[in-house]
Structure formats: structure tokens, C-alpha cells
Amino acid sequence: MFAKRIDRLKPSLVREILAAAQAPGVISFAGGLPAAETLFQPELSELKLPASIWQYGASEGESVLRDLVAQRANRLGLACRPDQVLILNGSQQGIDLVAKLWVEETTKILCESPTYLAALQVFDLFGASFESSQADWLSPTDIEASQADFAYLIPTFQNPTGRCYSTEQRQLLAQAFDLRRMPVFEDDPYRDLAFDGPAPAPLVSHLQSVPWVYQGSFSKTLAPGLRLGYLIAHPDLIVPLTRLKQAADLHSNRLSQAIVTHVLANGTLDKHIADLLPIYREKRDLMHQVLTEQLAEKAYWHKPAGGLFFWLELKRDCDTHYLMQKALALGLAIMPGDPFYPAKPQQTCTLRLNFSHSSLELIEEGVNRLARLI
């Protein structure tokens, strides 16, 4: 009854845990949700919405918004023109479009291990297999030795590890990609959540010759419910990607595009980011402090300089799925690290903890509960 690829469609553990985390009284470190108090609430009455936005629009996205996105990318050091920008219904759509462009059943993807679970889910669906780094992040040696057809990576405040490659690492990786002639897909939704100074320029800005796709999102800075993101592609890729977008959904939601155009054009986005950073920084610092007080002897982690997550490696063997069940019974939702590994099945003693969603009190209480359980 179903296409063969449906057998490869895995249920997402995150969605299941998130459903359990919705129960009243549960402290959730499981998802990647922005804090409710930071969600951008547009003054809809201030928006002068042209009647034309209720009509079908361009597959590429609204031209003013594409201009603004290109200008922002240029300021980051990524040279591009507005006609290289495609506006997406969330950057998750970019993963789907790139998978349709590049992945078939013989395709190998080089990625970090662990990496973003929902990207693995999409690439799996299209039949990809994975090559991954030995360490948490990619090195030039991984690229030189790789047989992969393209690389997918999250160089800035990675999901799930929170790691951020330095400028020098980005330059070395870009050189290795050019030498190995390996196309690069850089996923960059967390860049603006930088708590200790701005993140280095995108890795793809250092590439000389290979094709690339770079994508970003307004979910983590404004609101995920807007469902708005964008991709910027090497000029050779933008036409097929635009056709894929057209085939998928004709175009992105025009009301969301009007809202984001307005907040980008009048500087509200940057002001909103400046307002939310201290809130997230305080939560990150508190989680680090309580982890240090409670779990320093039982786990390793590093303090992330941005993004939404702590990545914990427990020092002793531990069945983290059992731990997750026990934690849920105590009213705490945590995310086992296993599903983030491309090579499955793999038992790891890792956990991803989100610090953005819970209040300061609940961060403290949640880490205390976790420490007692461990």
C-alpha cells in the first residue's frame, strides 16, 4: 500500500517525549523550544498588509524579504545576491528540499556524530547512508578519507552538542571540502543565540569552488509558529531548488513573510535578539552552575557559548532510555542521546538537556531531580 521508502520512516523520539512533556507539572528539558516569554508577538494592527498578500505568491519568496536576507548574509561575510535566496516554510523544509535534490538510495552523507535528529530522519527517508566523524565534530582528515557525496553540518552551536567551530577550523574544513570536491550543506538556525560574543562567519563563506547550500531560521529568534526560514544556495543550485519548492508547496506563507519583512526592515529583529540574549544567558549559566554542583563527578559536558542545549556524557555506563522513563515518572522530561547518532543502533551514555524552555526555578529543580536519579 505504501511506497518502499515509508518503511524507512522512523517515529521521532523527540515528538513522543514532547507529547509526554506536555502533561501538567512536567519539567521539560527534552525539546528545543524557545522560552514562552521570548516568543515574538507582532502588533498585527501596525502592519500595513497589502491586499496582494492574500493572493498566491512567488515560489522564491517575497522579493523585499529576499533582499533583506541577502543583506544580512553579506554582513556575516557570506557573499550572495538576493536571487540566491529562497524563503522556506521553516528551515526543516530546506533539509527536505536538499534531500530531494541530492539524495538517492546510493548517496552517502558525511555528517557530525551526533547530529540533528530530524535531518537524519529526512535523509534516511530518501535512502541515504551516513559516514560520520570519529569525534563530536568533523576534521579535515574525516573529509580527506571520506567517500561521501556531500556533507551536512551544523558548525554553529550545534544541535545536540552546542559546539561551535572556530574561524580557523572553518577555514581548514572549507579547504578540505574544496580539495575533495565535496558539496556542503550548512545548517545554521542557532547563530543569533550567541551568549559570549558573535559566532564566526559561516563555513561556506570560506569555500572557493564546491557547490553549497546555507540555511537559517526565524524560529529560534522570533517564533517557531511563524514557520519561516530561508536557504541561500550556490548559483548553480537555486533553479532546481526553486522548482522543488514549487512542487512541494508553491510558496511560503505570505502573512509570515510580511511579518518578518517588517521586523527585519525596521530593526525590531535585532532589538528582539538583544532582549532575549540576557534571558537565555542567565538560564544557560544557571544550568551550568547547578550541573557543576550536582553532577561534576558523574558526567562530562562543556558550557555552550550559544544555542539551546547542554550535551552530557555520563561517566558510568547507563541505560539512558531507562533513565528517561524513570525521570518521566518523577515529572522530568529528558532526551537520550542515542537517536542523534547516524550509526544506529548505538548505546551511548549521553543526554541532551534544553535550558531555554524552563524557568530558572524549574531548571534548578529539574537538574536536582536528574542528579538524584543518576
Ligand X SMILES: Cc1ncc(COP(=O)(O)O)c(C=O)c1O
Which CB atom, from 62 or from 186, has the smaller least distance to ligand X?
186
The interface region with ligand X, picked from 11-19, 45-53, 89-97, 138-146 by CB under 6 A, is 89-97
The interface region with ligand X, picked from 53-61, 88-96, 205-213, 288-296 by CB under 6 A, is 88-96
Sheet containing strand 309-314, strands side by side:
299-300, 309-314, 350-354, 335-336
The interface region with ligand X, picked from 84-92, 103-111, 123-131, 357-365 by CB under 6 A, is 84-92
- Among all residues, whose Cβ is closest to ligand X? 90
The interface region with ligand X, picked from 8-16, 38-46, 85-93, 167-175 by CB under 6 A, is 85-93
What distance in Å separates the CA atoms of residue 300 and residue 148, rounded to the nearest whole number?
31
What distance in Å separates the CA atoms of residue 371 and residue 186, rounded to the nearest whole number?
35
The per-residue b/e assignment along 52-66, b for 16 or more CB within 10 angstroms, e otherwise, is eeeeebbbbbbeebb
Our finding on whether 91 is near ligand X (CB under 6 A) is: yes
Helix (H), strand (E) at residue 35: none
Site string for ligand X, 146-175 (x = CB under 6 A): --------x----x----------------
One DSSP character per residue, 334-349 reads -EESGGG-SS-S----
Least Å distance between CB 119 and ligand X?
A: 6
Strands (E), the chain: 27-28, 85-88, 108-111, 129-132, 150-153, 184-187, 212-217, 229-233, 299-300, 309-314, 332-333, 335-336, 350-354
Burial class (CB in 10 A: 0-12, 13-18, 19+), 12: middle
Least Å distance between CB 159 and ligand X?
A: 4
Least Å distance between CB 371 and ligand X?
A: 26
Say how many C-beta atoms besides its own lie within 10 A of residue 1's C-beta.
3
Residues in 307-366 at the binding interface with ligand X, rule: CB under 6 A: none
Residue from 102, 116, 130, 177 touching ligand X (CB under 6 A): that is 116
Which CB atom, from 287 or from 308, has the smaller least distance to ligand X?
308
Which CB atom, from 116 or from 301, has the smaller least distance to ligand X?
116
Residues in 168-227 at the binding interface with ligand X, rule: CB under 6 A: 187, 189, 217, 219, 224
DSSP 8-class letter at 39: S
DSSP 8-class letter at 110: E
What distance in Å separates the CA atoms of residue 238 and residue 97, rounded to the nearest whole number?
11
Our finding on whether 294 is near ligand X (CB under 6 A) is: no
Contacts for 164-172 with beta carbons within 8 Å, 24 or more apart? 164/199, 164/200, 164/304, 164/305, 164/306, 165/137, 165/200, 165/203, 166/200, 167/200, 167/201, 169/137, 170/200, 170/201, 170/202, 170/203, 170/206, 171/206, 172/140
Which CB atom, from 116 or from 177, has the smaller least distance to ligand X?
116
Which CB atom, from 202 or from 290, has the smaller least distance to ligand X?
202
Which CB atom, from 82 or from 224, has the smaller least distance to ligand X?
224
* Helix%, strand%, coil% for the chain, nearest 5: 45, 15, 40
- Tell me the one-letter amino acid at 162: G
Which CB atom, from 28 or from 91, has the smaller least distance to ligand X?
91
Our finding on whether 229 is near ligand X (CB under 6 A) is: yes
- How many residues sit close enough to ligand X to count as binding (CB under 6 A)? 13
Least Å distance between CB 83 and ligand X?
A: 22
Which CB atom, from 60 or from 187, has the smaller least distance to ligand X?
187
What distance in Å separates the CA atoms of residue 299 and residue 145, rounded to the nearest whole number?
32
Which CB atom, from 18 or from 179, has the smaller least distance to ligand X?
18
Residue from 28, 84, 92, 121 touching ligand X (CB under 6 A): that is 92
Residues in 9-48 at the binding interface with ligand X, rule: CB under 6 A: 32
Least Å distance between CB 275 and ligand X?
A: 20
Least Å distance between CB 293 and ligand X?
A: 28
Binding site for ligand X (CB under 6 A): 32, 90-92, 116, 154, 159, 187, 189, 217, 219, 224, 229
